[in-house]
A and B are shown apart, each in its own frame.
Chain A
Amino acid sequence: MTATPTVPKGRSLSAQRKRAAFWFLVPMLAALLFVAAWPLFRTIYFSFTDTSLTSLYDGKWIGFDNYLSYRQLSSGKVIWRGTLVDPAWWNAVWNTVRFAFVSVALETVLGLMVALVLHRNFVGRGWVRAAILIPWAIPTIVSAKMWAWMLNDQFGIINDMLLRVGLIDAKIAWTANIETAMIAVLIVDVWKTTPFMALLCLAGLQMIPKDIYEAAKVDGISALRVFWRVTLPLLKPALMVAVIFRSLDALRVFDLVYVLTPNSKATKTMSVIARENLIEFDRFAYGSAQSTLLFALIAIFVSLYIWLGKMDLGGKADQ
């Protein structure tokens, strides 16, 4: 196809391809507008109204009242209302941020360790890789229930193990206790998600050329130094992507918390409290405002990340 096509023919070919591309994309985009963009717009709209669950179409526009409003009493005292002054909301924000930070940090460190182990050549490596896929394959709800049983205060095997080893003196009600509920959620989340981290790190490790390590070996550089100076910097891009995806996932956590520690103030996250208001407490508009805030938080997080230019999204495609 070197010199044969004349200019108009080439143009019409490319025009035909573009037209086809347009029609190929339309159904997918229409579907996404219908199930994602429109519902998102409606959620944001509801957050500015006083809509209730039972009469979805009777809501009146009330501006920012679900977020923040104030009223001055005759005594001159000002009363603030709305999500932004709701202690339950800020408690949920704090729980979510704490959960996201600790779980992603632990998963990254442990995932990296598992990946370094799996990167070595040893007998039975395939079996180990298969074994670590098991927590990933188990549905979150099922793993929450399995761990709820293991963490059971009376008959749980975790208490039994800890008692035998002597780490605790009395049985702990892991999921019910305010002080340990978050630890229980973190244990299950780390168990379930570290494999995902490990696999992404392993893929990153396998892309590092082997001769770098050989050169380091020849120069007699210690393994620890090689890790800090060579492996980690080269792994950073892959690691960053994994951390971002995990953080976004952790910020919207719902199912694990809802099932493992129902109604615990110590673990209630933003998604849990928003759904509670939306559906269970019939404060539909108030819950919409909380959903919108969570969306805004995640949107800021994502745009910051893209703005920092860490993710090469279209670059490769446009070569």
Chain B
Amino acid sequence: MMRYLKSVAFYAVVVVIVVVSVFPFYYAIITSFKTGTALFSIDYLPTSFDLSNYRGVLDSPNFIRSVLNSVLIAGATVGFAMFLAVTASYALARVRFRGRALLLMSILAVSMFPQIAVLAGLFELVRFLGIYNTPWAMIMSYTIFTLPFTVWVLTTFMRDLPLEIEEAAIIDGATPWDIVSKVFLPLMWPALVTTGLLAFIGAWNEFLFALTFTASESQRTVPVAIAMLSGSSEFEMPWGTLMAASVLVTVPLIILVLIFQRKIVAGLTAGGVKG
């Protein structure tokens, strides 16, 4: 009897965890299918299935534009970070030199920077380079968190690869560049995919820089577009449209995260950094 009660209590806790985790997203979905006065009746179960909010969002050129901006910015910034990080993490993980620990520590310190601390300086830099209100401002500034993160995670990954594979290549007379490109790179695909995905999510979600370095609606990224979406007054928030837009930009992320969940958990624990 006691055993039975215990397992009922355990499953009750499990149900609470799942419901709390999933409910807000579920509620956003059922809200996104409501229009007009239906929005203002509180329902726990789906009551209508009206796609006009989605049509409204997808017909708005600025929303599509902001999705494209976000894809371009996150893609470019992650590609750039990976390009620099692969060789750098090889040096940090496999070559012994003086000051290596200090260097690793500084790289980790950069990833802990409060973004606000560089905002004024970056603003000046962005203005100086003439890239204010263009995607380049974000591509450049996001490097501040994508690069240390990718270097750190790839370094921990490369450190754990066995010595032997490298030794064989050295005996064959391979240069360090050959070792990185021909020996390590093929082994690193899984780690690259995970790290890239986590960095991509980080760049996709970033708000402070995107808010500060854009001025016109067509240059906004997805988070800024969603934050700025509003009606003519606070009391006329277009909740239905807002929830439809939120669901649209979140579903791809959730699918990706669920597909890669095991790898993501491993990447997060290796990096110990919030994605």
Contact pick for A31, options B84, B171, B175, B258, CB 8 Å: B84
A124 to B, closest residue via Cβ: B14
Chain B contact residues, CB within 8 Å of chain A: 10-11, 13-14, 17-18, 20-22, 24-25, 27-28, 31, 39-40, 42, 44, 84-85, 87-88, 90-93, 95-97, 100-105, 107-110, 112-125, 127, 140-141, 143-144, 147-148, 151, 155, 159, 167, 170-171, 175-177, 180, 201, 204-205, 207-208, 211-212, 222-224, 226-227, 239, 242-243, 246, 249-250, 253-254, 256-258, 261, 264-265, 268-269, 272-275
Chain B interface, DSSP helix/strand/loop, else mixed:
helix
Interface pair A294/B91, CB less than 8 Å apart: no
Q: How far is the CB of A153 from chain B (nearest CB, A)?
A: 11
Interface pair A155/B42, CB less than 8 Å apart: yes
Number of interface residues, chain A, beta carbon within 8 A: 101
For A16, A31, A279, which residue has the most chain B Cβ atoms within 10 angstroms? A31
Question: A202 contacts which chain B residues (CB < 8 A)?
Answer: 265
- 305-319 of chain A: CB within 8 A of chain B: 306, 313-318
**A213 in contact (CB, < 8 A):** no
Question: B108 contacts which chain A residues (CB < 8 A)?
Answer: 313
Contacts A43-B119, A199-B268, A249-B274 given: A137-B177 contact, CB under 8 Å?
no
Question: A149 contacts which chain B residues (CB < 8 A)?
Answer: 27-28, 31, 239, 242-243
Contact pick for A36, options B113, B159, B224, CB 8 Å: B113
B44 to A, closest residue via Cβ: A157
Contacts A160-B42, A245-B272 given: A142-B113 contact, CB under 8 Å?
no
Q: How far is the CB of B208 from chain A (nearest CB, A)?
A: 5
Interface pair B246/A142, CB less than 8 Å apart: yes
Interface pair A145/B116, CB less than 8 Å apart: no
Question: A249 contacts which chain B residues (CB < 8 A)?
Answer: 274
CA–CA, A144 and B268, complex, Å: 23
Q: How far is the CB of A163 from chain B (nearest CB, A)?
A: 10
CA–CA, A138 and B257, complex, Å: 10
Question: B25 contacts which chain A residues (CB < 8 A)?
Answer: 134, 138, 146
A123 to B, closest residue via Cβ: B11
Interface pair A200/B212, CB less than 8 Å apart: no
Contacts A191-B24, A314-B100 given: A139-B223 contact, CB under 8 Å?
yes
Could you list 17 examples of A-B contacts with CB < 8 Å?
Answer: A18-B95, A21-B91, A24-B91, A35-B118, A141-B207, A150-B27, A191-B24, A203-B269, A252-B116, A258-B211, A259-B227, A278-B119, A295-B116, A316-B159, A317-B100, A317-B104, A317-B155
Contact pick for B269, options A128, A134, A200, CB 8 Å: A200
Question: B140 contacts which chain A residues (CB < 8 A)?
Answer: 35
CA–CA, A156 and B42, complex, Å: 7
Q: How far is the CB of A308 from chain B (nearest CB, A)?
A: 14
Interface pair B258/A133, CB less than 8 Å apart: yes
Interface pair A129/B122, CB less than 8 Å apart: no
Contact pick for A203, options B22, B207, B265, CB 8 Å: B265
Contacts A35-B141, A314-B102 given: A291-B91 contact, CB under 8 Å?
no
CA–CA, A286 and B272, complex, Å: 34
**A275 in contact (CB, < 8 A):** yes
For B20, B24, B120, B264, which residue has the most chain A Cβ atoms within 10 angstroms? B120
Contact pick for B201, options A13, A20, A38, A137, CB 8 Å: A137
Contact pick for A252, options B13, B28, B91, B115, CB 8 Å: B115
Contact pick for B123, options A124, A157, A278, CB 8 Å: A278
**A235 in contact (CB, < 8 A):** no
CA–CA, A316 and B205, complex, Å: 33
Interface pair B22/A137, CB less than 8 Å apart: no
Contacts A31-B143, A145-B246, A278-B119 given: A317-B261 contact, CB under 8 Å?
no
Chain A interface, DSSP helix/strand/loop, else mixed:
helix
Question: A196 contacts which chain B residues (CB < 8 A)?
Answer: 268, 274
3 nearest A-B residue pairs (beta carbon): A314-B101, A39-B121, A42-B121
Question: B250 contacts which chain A residues (CB < 8 A)?
Answer: 137-139, 142
CA–CA, A270 and B115, complex, Å: 12
**A174 in contact (CB, < 8 A):** no
Q: How far is the CB of B5 from chain A (nearest CB, A)?
A: 15
Contact pick for B222, options A56, A114, A139, A270, CB 8 Å: A139
Interface pair B117/A294, CB less than 8 Å apart: yes
Question: A274 contacts which chain B residues (CB < 8 A)?
Answer: 116, 119
Question: A156 contacts which chain B residues (CB < 8 A)?
Answer: 42
Question: A1 contacts which chain B residues (CB < 8 A)?
Answer: 167, 170-171
Question: B242 contacts which chain A residues (CB < 8 A)?
Answer: 145, 149
**A154 in contact (CB, < 8 A):** yes
Interface pair A135/B125, CB less than 8 Å apart: no
Q: How far is the CB of A117 from chain B (nearest CB, A)?
A: 6
B141 to A, closest residue via Cβ: A35
- 237-292 of chain A: CB within 8 A of chain B: 241-242, 245-246, 248-249, 251-252, 254-255, 258-259, 270-271, 274-275, 278-279, 284, 287-288, 291-292
Interface pair B27/A146, CB less than 8 Å apart: yes
Interface pair B14/A28, CB less than 8 Å apart: no
CA–CA, A17 and B105, complex, Å: 22
Interface pair B17/A287, CB less than 8 Å apart: no
Question: B171 contacts which chain A residues (CB < 8 A)?
Answer: 1
Question: A155 contacts which chain B residues (CB < 8 A)?
Answer: 39-40, 42, 239
Question: A36 contacts which chain B residues (CB < 8 A)?
Answer: 110, 113, 118, 144
